[in-house]
Structure 1
Amino acid sequence: MGKYKVLMVGPDRSVHGGISGVVNNYYAAGLDQKIELKYIGTMIEGSKVRKLWRAMKAYMQFLVQLSGYDIVHVNMASDASYVRKSFFIKAAKRARKKIVIHQHGGDFEGYYGQLSQKGKKRVKEILSMGDIMLVLAPAWKKFFGTLIDENKIIVFPDCIEMPPVYQKQYGQHKLLFLGRICKEKGVLELLAAAEKLQQKYPGAKLYLGGIFEDEKLKEQIEKNSDFIKYLGWISGKEKQKYLQESDIFVLPSYFEGQSIAILEAMANYCAIAASDTGGIPQMIQQEETGLLFEPRDEKSLYAALDRLLADKHLCKKLGNSAREKAEKEFSIEKNMEELLKIYGSI
């Protein structure tokens, strides 16, 4: 039958974020060798004018390329991402292409809830145009199943490439956060908890890797630079270095689709403390592969981190179990096999 011809759209591969990370993982694992794949980046970082120009240019490129492909794979989140991708979905539907809608966002329910009745009806119409909808966790299948035919929805977790096996050193009191540095990622609560923890564990260090979205947070971090180190956006070998050296990973998000950063931490034997929201409980089982705490709850966050800092044996147990689960359920090879089956099914 030959290779599947797939036209995939999503944020530009240079964008700092989870979706571009997933796409780059696919390329690194050779998906473009298994199928005839064309990727079009619909969004880049920068000013509103720059973003609008890229979206328009991407849409025109998409229309030119569309006739040569059988399947359109749309990677999207919520808000502006959904609005942009709705134009691509409608064009693919008009061209009678098979459509895979891949939902990555963690707050689509919140976005949907603030729409007018007309807006909600339109969302249902757009999402129903897909032949298959991929969601990251069972919780999202339940939600989207109230909007479209649930039989179209497949739980399809994100994936990563596994680093080589190595021995993690626990008890170092090195905590790592990776993600957007903003209120919605729970950074306010994290900074407050870290300040108290530093008094109890004077040698502890908190490393923050990501891009600032709130200048007030930047000022607060700079005031505590003796035990908090801002790394900027890190990737590749530098990110792997900090994942290997840090014995604890923390992500106190208010909402989350499924965190690539948590998967990377699992693959690197980190003891993980994360908020109990969205797709995170699919990865982190309480007391087995990590510790869960309530989002927006500084006391709960503090208690989880305090336990890990106080008990390196607990860290080792959780870190090894997390690595085992990542290998079994979230490897890029397993994920690609499933994706090819999904393409074949439509």
Structure 2
Amino acid sequence: MNDKKSKILFIGPTPPPYSGPELSMQQFLESETLNKAFHITFLKTNFRTDNTKKGKFGFSMVTNFFIFFSKLLKLLITTRPKCVYYPITPTQIGWIGRDVWTILLSKLFGAKVIIHLRGSHFKLNFQEFKGIVKKLVGFSLRKVDCAIVQASYLKDQFEPYISQSNVAVLYQAMDVNQYSNTNNYKVERGKILVMGHMTKAKGYTDILKIIPDLCEAFPYVKFYFAGNIRKGERGVFYNQFTGEKITYEDPFEAEETILNSVYKDNYANLGIISGEDKMKHLQTTDIFLTASYSEGFSRSLLEAMSIGKPVVYTPVGAHREVFENETHGFSFEPGELDQLKNALKHLLVDDQKRYEIGLNNRAYVVSNFSIETISDHFKTILSNTLAS
């Protein structure tokens, strides 16, 4: 029976680091639904275990370029996959360094190609690409058989190179058994948890700006940041909600300002967390916050909701079409500090509201975003592409 299953080559990152793209790829590779339907081979793309150096050009990147493509060529020759599934990057260096050549080489060996945009900012970034790069990227995109995005309104990201009829929507998936509120830990009143890179594009510097005002009204509130502080931006340059370019702010300077203020005890930098430590912080948090200027579909947001937490979030990426303001939490426009403060205040003053929203969020994730549900949708996309 196994030899009748279509061969599919998955290309992408796996943990570590334990961030969204890596964890999502691992989920698909371990999916019983997908492995029953297809013969899956995997080629790992990430050579680093630390996201702080991601996207930086250097000698190691050149070396890894040749290592990666030698492995890809070998797999294309030996396994002859019918389809190649490949999450793309949103950056010019990513497309020139790997994406263009991965697509074209896969097509050269007769494979169908499915690309996956795990963010919401390719179209805006593409405007900044150099002329020759735009032509190369456009040429490779025309060879793509199917593109996957994380929200329906993002289906225009690849126009005019890929028509919307060849673009599919696949939402973020969550292991709802692993991420559940087991009540092992007591909730800490006023604990606000933020997970992800600590950069301007993730809203880190915005959050630090509102700490003084918010903590004047709620002195017991404490912000916990889990992630790494990263200088510069390497992928998100635009406010996806407005289309405006993001004005860069140094996160190290922002942190130094808060640490040298009377509000230093309302701030905690946890660094990168994972495993039981991560689960403990998710379960003990009172409110989960994401302030990103651009997202495809925040995995950490879904993790917190799966555990039954009320959330404050920006309506970017899939968030604007799958979450409802005041039902799943409170939303605010990226960079709008007054809206951010008000959203947090709405939850901080109402214990019952936090509890009810948390219960609703858990049920909503279980019903709509379980790994079983999303894997079944992914199976349909793969099957339809193979049959086209």
TM-score (norm 1): 0.92
| Residue matched to 2:95 | 82
2:74 paired with 1:72 = no
Q: 1:248–1:113: structure 2 CA closer, same or farther, 3 Å change rule?
A: same
Name the CA distance, whole Å, in 2 between partners of 1:158 and 1:70.
Answer: 25
The one of 353, 357, 362 equivalent to 1:323 is 362
How do residues 26-105 of structure 1 correspond to structure 2 at under 5 angstroms?
Answer: 26-30=28-32, 33-34=35-36, 35-45=38-48, 46=53, 48-67=58-77, 68=79, 69-79=81-91, 80-83=93-96, 84-105=98-119
Identity %: 25
How do residues 258-269 of structure 1 correspond to structure 2 at under 5 angstroms?
Answer: 258-269=297-308
Q: Which has the higher contact order (CA 8 A, sep 6+)?
A: 2
| Residue matched to 1:18 | 20
Q: Is the 8 A contact 1:175 1:205 kept in 2?
A: yes
- 5+ residue gaps, structure 1, are none
| Residue matched to 1:256 | 295
Name the CA distance, whole Å, in 2 between partners of 1:221 and 1:16.
Answer: 27
TM-score (norm 2): 0.83
Q: Which residue identity lines up with residue 308 of structure 1 in the other structure?
A: L
Q: Larger deviation: 231-240 or 168-177?
A: 168-177
Name the CA distance, whole Å, in 2 between partners of 1:309 and 1:245.
Answer: 15
Secondary structure, counterpart of 1:323 in structure 2: helix
Q: How many residues align?
A: 346
Q: Larger deviation: 250-259 or 101-110?
A: 101-110
Q: Is the 8 A contact 1:75 1:102 kept in 2?
A: yes
Q: How far did 1:29 drift?
A: 4.2
The one of 125, 130, 133 equivalent to 1:111 is 125
Secondary structure, counterpart of 1:328 in structure 2: helix
The one of 7, 10, 13 equivalent to 1:8 is 10
Q: How far did 1:71 drift?
A: 1.4
Name the CA distance, whole Å, in 2 between partners of 1:31 and 1:43.
Answer: 25
Secondary structure, counterpart of 1:39 in structure 2: strand
Q: Larger deviation: 126-135 or 153-162?
A: 126-135
Name the CA distance, whole Å, in 2 between partners of 1:128 and 1:321.
Answer: 42
2:277 paired with 1:238 = yes
Q: How far did 1:313 drift?
A: 1.6
Q: Larger deviation: 267-276 or 222-231?
A: 222-231
Partner deviation per Cα, 1:9-68 (whole Å, 9 max, x = no partner): 123532353211211223454467434322222233346322332232111101100131
Q: Which residue identity lines up with residue 82 of structure 1 in the other structure?
A: W
| Residue matched to 1:300 | 339
Q: 1:33–1:185: structure 2 CA closer, same or farther, 3 Å change rule?
A: same
| Residue matched to 1:211 | 228
| Residue matched to 2:237 | none
Q: How far did 1:333 drift?
A: 0.7
- 5+ residue gaps, structure 2, are 232-251
Secondary structure, counterpart of 1:213 in structure 2: coil
The one of 167, 171, 186 equivalent to 1:157 is 171
Name the CA distance, whole Å, in 2 between partners of 1:298 and 1:103.
Answer: 29
CA-based RMSD of the aligned residues comes to: 2.2
Q: Which residue identity lines up with residue 192 of structure 1 in the other structure?
A: K
Q: 1:93–1:221: structure 2 CA closer, same or farther, 3 Å change rule?
A: farther
Secondary structure, counterpart of 1:231 in structure 2: strand
Q: Is the 8 A contact 1:170 1:316 kept in 2?
A: no
